Chains A and B, each alone.
Chain A
Amino acid sequence: MTLSEIRRLLKANPLTDHNLDERNAETACGADLLSDVLAFTKEKTVLLTGLIHPQVIRTAEMLDLVGVVFVRGKEPSREIIDLAQAKDIPVLCTAYPMYESCGILYKAGLGGAPLD
């Protein structure tokens, strides 16, 4: 599922300048604990999170995440957006809370990662 599809489904706002049609996610991960994300996330994942902090972008960078969606309408700071742009991580923001966001994407066919 492309990020532009995700953007449409979540009525999300893109906060960085990226071509969202070109970014394809095979699965998603909803989490607020970065070390969990670091321990369990596979490649080609889009992260949904309610955590607003520059380390979210660092984590996305380390894992080559496809993108980050901040949920529940929380707006990240300029600093976070600038870092995301510099590290080439597309960032979106949706008004839907975590549970709904995950549910909408799951229902639209974006499955979870297989268990190890």
Chain B
Amino acid sequence: MIEKHHLPKVADVMTREVISVPKNSTVRQAKEIMRIKSISGMPVVDRDNTLIGIISIADIIKALEEGNLDAPVDKVMTRQVVSLREHDTVGQALKVFRQYGYGRLPVIDDRRHVLGVLTQSDIVSRLVQILEIDKVDESKETHLSEDFESYIFEYHIQGMDFDRAGEGASTLKKILNDLGIKGSVVRRCAIAAYEAEMNVVIHAYEGKMTARVTPKEITITVDDTGPGIKDIPLALKPGYSTAPDRVREMGFGAGMGLPNIKKSADEFFIESSPQGTHLHIKIYTE
């Protein structure tokens, strides 16, 4: 039996080298730090590293417009700080990111001392590292298909996020390889998962991919939050695509994704409404 991965915590994925700015620095200084470090925001701290606010590019632009570049940062910073705790799970952190739409969040202790910062890309890259570490462990213990009953994988997909598009399918592929699933089966799963993930990135607002792996079959579901597909039989026709030009320039929009998912799968089911699209596929391991 493969043990379920312990739920990763914010402490496992956050960046500990925090670039913060003392509250009496000027906006101009803050702007320079952010430019040099190419970051989009920083915690503003008191003398003893206590969090008192966040300064973002938006705050700086506002200060610029108001001719406030030489004001201390604590005059222009955002005071309503949404923060995380070290023991929050990564899932909880993702929820906070989604709810507030911030790019980076400070991690603090009980006395509001800044311990780290977290961005969504920290989460993805560290999780990939964690998975890779597990791969090494697993090869030592040689887990093969008979050794596990079921394995659950979950991944959040952000619409229009082309930088990370494909990382979900990539992670799933790695997991399937590690579980000892046959290469040709992994390949079909990877293709289907990748096309489905790209469809959410390109055509939907956001979504979630889950995979349930057993020694007999892999079940992948992809759910998104809309706008849905009006005419499913039409969307399933090879060559039909509503992809905008910007997406075609990236090599997508051939109208081959859904037909290819269907071709790769042993079972294929899709339903859709303006509230979202639900895709369910099964691929047998034999």
What 1/0 mask marks residues of chain B from 216 to 259 whose CB sits below 8 Å from any chain A CB? 00000000000000000000000000000000011111111101
Instruction: Report B-chain residues with C-beta under 8 Å of the C-beta of A43.
Output: 187
Q: A51: CB under 8 A from chain B?
A: yes
Instruction: Report A-chain residues with C-beta under 8 Å of the C-beta of B34.
Output: none
In the complex, A38→B162 CA distance in Å? 18
In the complex, A34→B202 CA distance in Å? 14
Residue of A32, A35, A64 with most chain B CB atoms under a 10 A cut-off: A35
**A53-B251, A56-B251, A58-B194 known; A38 and B256 CB under 8 Å?**
yes
In the complex, A49→B41 CA distance in Å? 38
**A36-B254, A39-B263, A64-B187 known; A58 and B165 CB under 8 Å?**
yes
Residue of B191, B198, B251, B263 with most chain A CB atoms under a 10 A cut-off: B251
Q: Is the CB of A34 within 8 A of B191?
A: no
What 1/0 mask marks residues of chain B from 266 to 284 whose CB sits below 8 Å from any chain A CB? 0000000000000000000
Q: A33: CB under 8 A from chain B?
A: yes
What 1/0 mask marks residues of chain A from 24 to 38 whose CB sits below 8 Å from any chain B CB? 000000001111101
Closest chain B residue, CB of each to CB of A32: B251
Distance from A70 Cβ to chain B, minimum over Cβ atoms (Å): 13
Q: Is the CB of B250 within 8 A of A38?
A: no
State the interface size on chain B (CB cutoff 8 A): 26
Partner of A87 from B170, B253, B256, B257 at Cβ < 8 Å: B170
Q: Is the CB of A58 within 8 A of B256?
A: no
Instruction: Report B-chain residues with C-beta under 8 Å of the C-beta of A39.
Output: 256, 259-260, 263
Q: Is the CB of B162 within 8 A of A55?
A: yes
Q: A115: CB under 8 A from chain B?
A: no
Partner of A55 from B250, B255, B256 at Cβ < 8 Å: B250
Q: Is the CB of B263 within 8 A of A55?
A: no
Closest chain A residue, CB of each to CB of B195: A38
Distance from B38 Cβ to chain A, minimum over Cβ atoms (Å): 14
Scan residues 64-115 of chain A and give those whose CB is less than 8 A from a CB of chain B: 64, 87
Contacts across chains A and B counted by CB atoms under 8 Å: 71
In the complex, A62→B169 CA distance in Å? 8
Partner of B250 from A53, A61, A63 at Cβ < 8 Å: A53
Scan residues 114-173 of chain B and give those whose CB is less than 8 A from a CB of chain A: 162-163, 165-166, 169-170, 173
Partner of B165 from A36, A38, A51, A55 at Cβ < 8 Å: A55
**A55-B162, A87-B170 known; A62 and B252 CB under 8 Å?**
no
Partner of B252 from A34, A54, A61, A87 at Cβ < 8 Å: A34
For the complex with contacts A56-B251, A62-B190, A63-B187, 10 further pairs of A-B residues with Cβ separation under 8 Å are: A35-B251, A35-B254, A38-B194, A38-B257, A38-B260, A51-B251, A53-B250, A54-B162, A55-B165, A61-B173
In the complex, A36→B251 CA distance in Å? 9
Distance from B149 Cβ to chain A, minimum over Cβ atoms (Å): 27
**A58-B194, A62-B194, A63-B187 known; A35 and B252 CB under 8 Å?**
yes
Distance from B186 Cβ to chain A, minimum over Cβ atoms (Å): 9
In the complex, A20→B129 CA distance in Å? 27
In the complex, A58→B183 CA distance in Å? 17
Scan residues 1-36 of chain B and give those whose CB is less than 8 A from a CB of chain A: none
Closest chain B residue, CB of each to CB of A33: B254
Instruction: Report A-chain residues with C-beta under 8 Å of the C-beta of B169.
Output: 58, 62
Q: Is the CB of A35 within 8 A of B165?
A: no
In the complex, A32→B198 CA distance in Å? 16
